[in-house]
Amino acid sequence: MVRNTYKVLIADDDKTLMGIECAFIKKYMQHKHVDCSITRKDESFPALFELCDHGDTYDLIILDSQMPNINGEDILSSLLHLENNYLNHIVFITADPEPVQKRFPNRNLHILKKPFSYKDFKSLADKVLSPFGNEKSYTALAV
């Protein structure tokens, strides 16, 4: 089955950073010659509810690791009991990776440290998405 469209969720309370993330995703998908559908959440609880209900429908999920109320790390902790495939592909984009690594020492996490360039983003997206090729994938990026 050849992929035509990737489904992406971005959860970030920083509208400027969300704009950069959207631009990088669009550029990345254009280079891959695929379309993408982007859903944006600027608050953590709606993002958590979306992931609980529909997380396995997203190919790429970007979560801000430091949102108010409940952060990206807390969202991951809340989702761990679901044991879905997409949880194994979460990427945190954060200024300080150490707390994320300490909180989840037994998980294979992908972390992109801020500030990051498109080249950094592309390299990590390639690594996370590459195992799936044109197959349906369940991928999470956490910011």
- Which domains are present in the chain? 5-132 (3.40.50.2300)
Task: Report pLDDT for 140.
Answer: 43
Q: Which helix (H) or strand (E) holds 25?
A: helix 15-31
- For 38-61, the pLDDT digits (tens) are 999 999 899 888 988 888 888 888
Residues 58, 106: Cα–Cα separation, whole Å: 24
H or E element in which residue 53 lies: helix 44-54
Residue 107 in this model has a pLDDT that exceeds 60: yes
**For range 91-104, the mean pLDDT:** 84
